[in-house]
Amino acid sequence: MPTTGPLKLNPGTAADSESGYRSRFPLHSEIAEAVYYSVVQDDYQIQAELMATGWEFTITPS
């Protein structure tokens, strides 16, 4: 899985996503279809896409 910043191995808590590797995402950035799912994780600016053929990750440079 691609990461930015220090490596975090603890998932953290739902109340404080910054305490671990969890990442928030706004529901308006989520796209869900029969063979495709996409979401942009705001904390790290990573777009995760799941397609029938597998996963793809795109990191947006800041």
**Mean pLDDT of the chain, nearest integer:** 78
- Residue 12, helix vs strand vs coil: coil
Residue whose token pair is 């220090």: 6
| 53, β-bridge pairs | none
| 50, β-bridge pairs | 37, 55
Would the pLDDT of 62 be above 50? no
The answer to the question of residue 11 being in a domain is no
pLDDT reported for residue 14: 72
The answer, as to whether pTM is greater than 0.85, is no
Write out pLDDT tens, residues 24-53: 777 888 999 988 888 888 777 788 888 888
Q: Which domain holds residue 45?
A: 32-62
The answer to the question of residue 56 being in a domain is yes
Q: Give the Cβ contact number of residue 44 at 10 Å.
A: 16
pLDDT reported for residue 51: 85
Q: How many domains does the chain have?
A: 1
7 pLDDT band, cuts 50/70/90, is confident
Cβ atoms of 19 and 10 closer than 8 Å: yes
